[in-house]
Structure 1
Amino acid sequence: MKNFLTSSIGKKLVMGLTGLFLIVFLVVHCYANAQIFLEWLDYGRGYKAYGEIAHFLGSNPITRIAEVGLFAFIILHIVQGLMLTAQNKAKRPVGYNVAPGNSSSKWYTRSMGLLGTLILMFLVLHLAHFWAPNRYQQLTQGHEKDLYLIMEETFQQWWVVIIYVAGCISLAWHLVHGFWSAFQTLGLSTPKYKGLINCIGVGFAIIVPAIFALMPISYKLGWLPPAAEVAQFVKTMAH
């Protein structure tokens, strides 16, 4: 078993399984974050919905356990990805005399290691901005932070917005190859459904990162109502 997991096939299988798990996580995370855009439909609705989901995910013991598994899968996915990249380079220690370019593979396929590293840097920043402060307050005070307000404050600086958008673009290119590759590695991308999976993968790689990128842009450009005002409105309506 150990030899299998350290083999090329084993590494790719682990990458495929962890990749599918992370795709599911992205769907859940994207759905939760997208609740803020309900503000465009009904004043106070997005703030309230986002707060309720954040509270559920932060206080539910099942999601807290899944959170530990998520971090484990992220680390495993990164380690296996770096090992595969190093292994592929070792197979060809001498580069091509003439770079084959896109004739042999797409640039994002050849750059999965680089894109993954950029996503990792973005992830560390994201955790430092939101997850770590929120979990710390939960442990010390017993309740979550107002994440709607925290996002508003965080995305007031252009350099932060630019880094987040760049991270989302890196994620999009990573998913263009990673989505299809995960299904192919696990033997789920049969000739009959290959075209459909490719289309779904490209759509997923565009829509999900676009929603994530729209969040910092919306806060910075003032497309969402001020957190303090909407919080007061929700509090008033509750009474």
Structure 2
Amino acid sequence: MQSTLLSKMLMCLTGLFLSFFLLIHFLGNLQLFLPKEQAHLQFNAYSHFLSGNIVIKTISYILYASIILHALDGLLITLKNKRSAANYQTDRRGRASKWYSRNMGVLGTLILIFLVIHFQNFWYVYKFGNLPLDKNGNKDLYILVVNVFKEWWYVLIYIISMIALGYHLIHGIYSAIRTLGLYHPKFIRWFKIVGIAYSVIISLGFTLMPIYLFFTYH
């Protein structure tokens, strides 16, 4: 029982941290919607600042650890529930569970696969590739992003992954609220509304970015 509680708490805390990171990442990437020339230089300057800031570097290590722990913990919970013929997403109050709450493992797997592709296409190339420099002397990550999002198949993968992310967030935030003991009749409705709003804004916002760049540069 104690190990299950600790596992759920780990899932909760890493998930909340990742949700916070998503918000920061989302706000930074909004620069992609700026006019082309402004977006080009400003996005590269922003990326250069992040890569050279010691505080951001420290947070990035926490991010990597959180992704790994969240994925491993999710896998262990899924396997444990299958062995016990239980379901992590089942509402014990007898209410019918949503399809996405019953398939968090599948959604999480899709997101993990997407992250591997995403890190390889952007993070790895930015860190270890030979990107050209823009006129301000910063690595031209913007051009890399544009070139990747010119590919319709990658845009499609991105859209599908963001849909999975949206549903994953909706249930994940709701579960985190319960794990933290905030499930109270007075406030749960508002927590759910805020959680759903956050999930929709984040997933829809990230979805629109590749679509915008795809049509802007075609």
Q: TM-score, normalised by structure 1?
A: 0.80
CA distance in 1, matches of 2:126, 2:182: 38
Q: What are the superposed Cα offsets for residues 66-96 of structure 1, whole Å, 9 maximum, x if unpaired?
A: 1111110110001111111111111118xxx
Q: Which amino acid aligns with 1:38?
A: L
**Which residue does 2:48 correspond to in 1?**
55
Q: What do residues 20-65 of structure 1 show as CA deviations (whole Å, max 9, x unaligned)?
A: 10011000100011111122xxx63333332222111111011111
Aligned to 1:8: 4
2:110 pairs with 1:118: yes
Q: 167, 180, 183: which is aligned to 1:186?
A: 180
The amino acid of 2:22's aligned partner reads L
Q: Does 1:87 align with 2:61?
A: no
Q: CA RMSD in A?
A: 2.2
5+ residue gaps, structure 2, are 87-93
Could you tell me which amino acid in structure 2 is paired with residue 175 of structure 1?
Answer: L
What's the CA shift for 1:192?
Answer: 2.1
Equivalences, count: 206
The answer to which of 50-59 and 72-81 deviates more is 50-59
- d(CA) in 1 for partners of 2:177 and 2:37? 40
Partner residue, 2:90? none
Structure 2 Cα separation of the partners of residues 10 and 64 of structure 1: 28
Equivalent of 2:96 in 81, 104, 118: 104
- How many angstroms apart in 2 are the aligned matches of 1:49 and 1:199? 34
TM alignment of 1:9-158, pairs within 5 A: 9-39=5-35, 44-92=37-85, 104-137=96-129, 145-158=139-152
- What is the Cα deviation at residue 203 of structure 1? 0.7
**After TM superposition, which residue ranges in structure 1, 4 or more long, deviate above 6 angstroms?**
none
Asked whether the 8 Å contact 2:40–2:143 carries over to 1, the reply is no
TM-score normalised by length of structure 2: 0.87
Contact 2:150 2:214 in 1 (8 A): yes
Letter in 1 for 2:31: Q
Structure 2 counterpart of 1:180, one-letter code: Y
Q: CA deviation at 1:124?
A: 0.5
Which range is displaced more, 176-185 or 14-23?
176-185
CA distance in 1, matches of 2:151, 2:170: 29
Greater CA radius of gyration, 1 or 2? Answer: 1
The gaps in structure 1 that reach 5 residues or longer are 94-101, 227-239
